Structure 1
Amino acid sequence: MAARTAGQAGDADGLSLFVVDPAGGGTLRLNCDPVERARATSAAKVTVANACRFVGQNAVQLHGDMGMMDELAIGHYFLRATLLESENGSADWHLARHAALAAA
């Protein structure tokens, strides 16, 4: 398990998660450039989707076949996280969007 978490720590992909105003004490700047907001939104979507997939897959792996049975809530949570991952654009779509906005 330690090897998996160590490998996951380096998967930041260089995405800037939040548009933060340093003068405002670290608060989110909602009135910033729309391109910056779109990049931050896509970065957050990719980060959360990857984290949900990582946690869900490891929970099922930890519990083995029982993790996918109806008796345990893990299978339901994993299915819900998988469905939410593709809602409002998949992680791949948002990663491509983030790259396109960074190039613009």
Structure 2
Amino acid sequence: MGCAGSTPKTDDNGKKLKKPKPWKHTQAITLAQLRQMRDEFWDTAPHYGGQKEIWDALRAAADSDLALAQTIVDSAGIIVSNSDMTLCYDERGAKYELPKYVLSEPTNLIREG
């Protein structure tokens, strides 16, 4: 139990989340193509191991702003190894790797219309 003047620990499970660095896809893609890639990843992610609940929390965090994403990963007990969420672990040590395309948009995204 801390005293009234102590500083609360704000990050119990690893690093504070940061916005992913800009990245470029191998070729320019549309938002629809990016969404399809993301959907395919999230549909197959639980098959790589780990817990479905952690995958669900990671998806929610990836789709949120940084503040909400931080709250989600902290609440789910996710240990963030890379601050951009590309590498995370659960409390049991299971590894969760997220590709950059589920976390941010590429610099060569084609905006339709």
State the TM-score, normalizing by the size of structure 2: 0.25
Considering fraction of residues, name the structure with more helix. Answer: 1
Q: Which has the higher contact order (CA 8 A, sep 6+)?
A: 2
Structure number with larger C-alpha Rg: 1
